[in-house]
Amino acid sequence: MTDIDHTAMTRAYAKWAPVYDALCGPFFRSGRQAAAALARSLGRDILEIGVGTGLSFADYRSDNRITGIDASPEMIAKATSRLRTGNHPQVEDLEVMDAHELSFPEASFDVIVAQFVITLVQNPERVLDEAFRVLRPGGSIVLVNHFYSEAGPLAAVERGAGQAARRLGLRPDFPFARIETWCRLNGAVQVVKREKLAPFGWFTLVHLRRTDIDTGGAWTARTYPA
């Protein structure tokens, strides 16, 4: 398994942007709504990584404060157009930004949400590092994604389809074990929940919690073996 090239991914999603809502919106609806429901119960200040065209805006409460980022200018343009309707006052900011290099100060958010994103970024562990950095102590990371079947015939099919899927900006052969390994090496993240979602269990909702306490000192980047 190899990781996705960042440039190839952004090019792929530039092509997806015009048709994303129609083609992908219904398929991802249950996972998107489950992630937003969990996030809005955990805190007010929420960063959504990979906000896309803003389909999730209506899934948050009016008293949430949402910041959305996406690596695709085309996706952010559509999200900005949706925001201009005035129907989503809870959305405070939208920015084109690489999730590997977040521009926010440390401890800026109560909750980080990544819907159908963590298996698509070039370096998932680096993105999780950045999410941890900008998360307040005691805060939560909410992921919803498909994680591939690590054994059996379906695993072989997903691995075989991986190369073709990458050209579409997808990665079907990403194991949950990578998330668990990151949590273990980080040392300050607990897996609170890992729940298969209806109707078919294709998507998994994951709740990670930052367990360290705020000492008032400067944040130190963690390093992980390659």
Nearest CA to 128 out of 188, 74, 55 is that of 188
Strand-pair partners of 68: 48, 94
Measured CA to CA, the distance from residue 140 to residue 38 in angstroms comes to 10
What tokens appear for 184 in the block? 């273990």
Does residue 197 form part of some domain?
Answer: yes
Does residue 218 form part of some domain?
Answer: no
How many other β-carbons are positioned within 10 Å of the β-carbon of residue 190? 12
Measured CA to CA, the distance from residue 19 to residue 86 in angstroms comes to 23
Does residue 103 form part of some domain?
Answer: yes
pLDDT tens-place values along the chain, 226 residues long: 456 676 766 776 677 677 777 778 788 999 999 999 999 999 999 999 999 999 999 999 999 999 999 999 999 999 999 999 999 999 999 999 999 999 999 999 999 999 999 988 989 999 999 999 999 999 999 999 998 765 544 444 445 444 444 444 445 668 999 999 999 999 999 999 999 998 888 899 999 999 997 655 444 555 544 4
**Predicted local distance difference test score (pLDDT) of residue 189:** 98
Does residue 144 form part of some domain?
Answer: yes
**Predicted local distance difference test score (pLDDT) of residue 9:** 66
**Predicted local distance difference test score (pLDDT) of residue 199:** 83
Does residue 216 form part of some domain?
Answer: no
CATH of the domain at 64: 3.40.50.150
Does residue 44 form part of some domain?
Answer: yes
**Predicted local distance difference test score (pLDDT) of residue 13:** 64
Nearest CA to 113 out of 14, 30, 208 is that of 208
Does residue 86 form part of some domain?
Answer: yes
How many other β-carbons are positioned within 10 Å of the β-carbon of residue 4? 21
DSSP reduced 3-state for 118: coil
> pTM to 2 decimals?
0.84
**Predicted local distance difference test score (pLDDT) of residue 202:** 85
Does residue 119 form part of some domain?
Answer: yes
- Domain interval for residue 58: 6-210
What tokens appear for 89 in the block? 């006052």
Nearest CA to 49 out of 107, 161, 132 is that of 132
**Predicted local distance difference test score (pLDDT) of residue 148:** 77
* Distance between first and last Cα of the chain: 14
Strand-pair partners of 48: 68, 113
Give the number of domains in the chain: 1
> Residue 112: phi, psi to the nearest 5?
-115, 130
